[in-house]
Amino acid sequence: MHEENREAAERHEIAAQSHRKAAEQHELAAQAHRTAAEHNEKGDGVAGSWHSERAQEYSDHAYKLAEEAQAKSGQILSL
């Protein structure tokens, strides 16, 4: 029984780490979006576009990590 509890705790920690990584990518995407908006407001469309592209990349990565984290969380519930 102790071994099962330890394994369950490890699975929970792996899922929690996955959620944290996804959240970090969401935060990076949000920052890049804000920076893009600031550049666009100043009339610097080139820099705004560059930051907008980075925001999209962070957002896409965050989405993939969130899907993986959800799948890991679902594994915990179904075990």
Q: Which amino acid is at 1?
A: M
- Encoded tokens for 55: 């925001």
Per-residue pLDDT at 3 exceeds 60: yes
Report helix, strand or coil for 70.
Answer: helix
Residues 6+ apart with CB under 8 A from 26: 58, 59, 62, 66
Q: How many separate domains does the chain show?
A: 1
Q: What is the per-residue pLDDT for 79?
A: 40
pLDDT above 90 coverage of the chain, percent: 62
pTM of the model: 0.78
Angle ∠(63,72,15) on CA atoms, nearest 5: 85
Task: Encode pLDDT of 14-48 as tens digits.
Answer: 888 989 999 999 999 999 999 999 999 999 999 99
CB atoms within 10 A of CB 36: 22
Q: What is the per-residue pLDDT for 41?
A: 97
- Looking at every residue in the chain, the average pLDDT score rounds to 89
Domain extent for 45: 2-78
Give the integer Cα–Cα distance in Å for 79 and 74. 9
